[in-house]
Amino acid sequence: MAINKETIQRLVAVQQQDAVLDGLQKEIDRIPREIAALQAGLESAKARVAEAKAKTMGFEKKKKEKELELASKEEAIRKHTMELNQVKTNDAFKALQHQIDEAKAAGSQIETEILETMEGIDRGRQEEKAAAAELKAAEDKAKGEISVLEKQLAEVKAKFDGQKEVRDEAASVVPSDMLRIYDHARKRGKPDAIVPVDGGNCSACRINLAPQMIVEVTKAKALVVCESCQRILYKPEPAAKAA
């Protein structure tokens, strides 16, 4: 296929189709990220429930330990109280009484600690309840949002496939040499691979073009590529410029 004004206009049309595809592709990339963010939010809400549960369990464990400690102090008090009846000397009596007093003081301290663990258990259970309610609300909300996003994604994908067919058909009537250069520029991060000259400049990178280049672009008998940005240059049709 020869290069002429018409084939160049066809390539410009392909680029317009590609711009639509690029926009759809962005949506196709964005929607799964949004879904993943919603799912991550749910995971952190789940983690908060587990954290509150672990806190409660920690206090429960501590309470059991303290209860065992208290029982052993009570046992010591009971034992020493019985021994009081069997001692022969005043010093031994005093020593035992001292041990009993110490055990009682320790027992009283442990009872305070048990009360504290009970308060901790209450707080932990309240946190669990609040976290579970938050999780439930987050799940309900995310479920709805995810299903909307999934529907959107399916629609955008279908639109993309339809648009891709239109684009490929438009590309099939563009000379393959032109397409190759065009695709090369696009792959290098230049979605506007074919750009109009703007007066004496490349409209993309604004470099001043040599007059001979402008002449060749106007003739449109061969592809002219901007030496600075490697985009294909074309002369906009007056009608297209007005549109």
The CA distance from 34 to 156, in Å, is 15
Of 108 and 208, CB closest to Zn ion = 208
The CA distance from 105 to 220, in Å, is 103
CB contact at 8 A, 214 and 197? yes
Total site size for Zn ion, rule CB under 5 A: 6
Q: Which two tokens stand for residue 142?
A: 């995310």
How much of the chain is in helix, strand and coil states, percent to nearest 5? 75, 5, 15
- Window contacting Zn ion (CB under 5 A); options: 34-42, 60-68, 113-121, 220-228: 220-228
Token pair 């061969």 is at which residue? Answer: 222
The CA distance from 9 to 186, in Å, is 17
User: Of the candidates 228, 181, 231, 235, which has an alpha carbon nearest to the alpha carbon of residue 208?
Assistant: 228
- The least CB distance from residue 206 to Zn ion, in Å, is 7
- The least CB distance from residue 213 to Zn ion, in Å, is 11
Of 96 and 226, CB closest to Zn ion = 226
Q: Which of 226, 232, 234, 235 binds Zn ion (CB under 5 A)?
A: 226
φ, ψ dihedrals at 95, nearest 5°: -60, -45
- Window contacting Zn ion (CB under 5 A); options: 79-87, 130-138, 149-157, 223-231: 223-231
- The least CB distance from residue 188 to Zn ion, in Å, is 13
Q: Which of 16, 81, 126, 228 binds Zn ion (CB under 5 A)?
A: 228
- The least CB distance from residue 203 to Zn ion, in Å, is 8
Q: Which of 31, 100, 229, 232 binds Zn ion (CB under 5 A)?
A: 229
Q: Which two tokens stand for residue 160?
A: 């993309």
- The least CB distance from residue 212 to Zn ion, in Å, is 16
- The least CB distance from residue 227 to Zn ion, in Å, is 8
Single-letter amino acid, residue 12: V
The CA distance from 2 to 4, in Å, is 6
User: Of the candidates 77, 71, 81, 59, which has an alpha carbon nearest to the alpha carbon of residue 110?
Assistant: 71
90-109 binders of Zn ion (CB under 5 A): none
Of 25 and 230, CB closest to Zn ion = 230
Of 114 and 229, CB closest to Zn ion = 229
- The least CB distance from residue 208 to Zn ion, in Å, is 10
189-218 binders of Zn ion (CB under 5 A): 202, 204-205
Of 103 and 209, CB closest to Zn ion = 209
DSSP conformational letter for 243? -
Residues that bind Zn ion (CB under 5 A): 202, 204-205, 226, 228-229
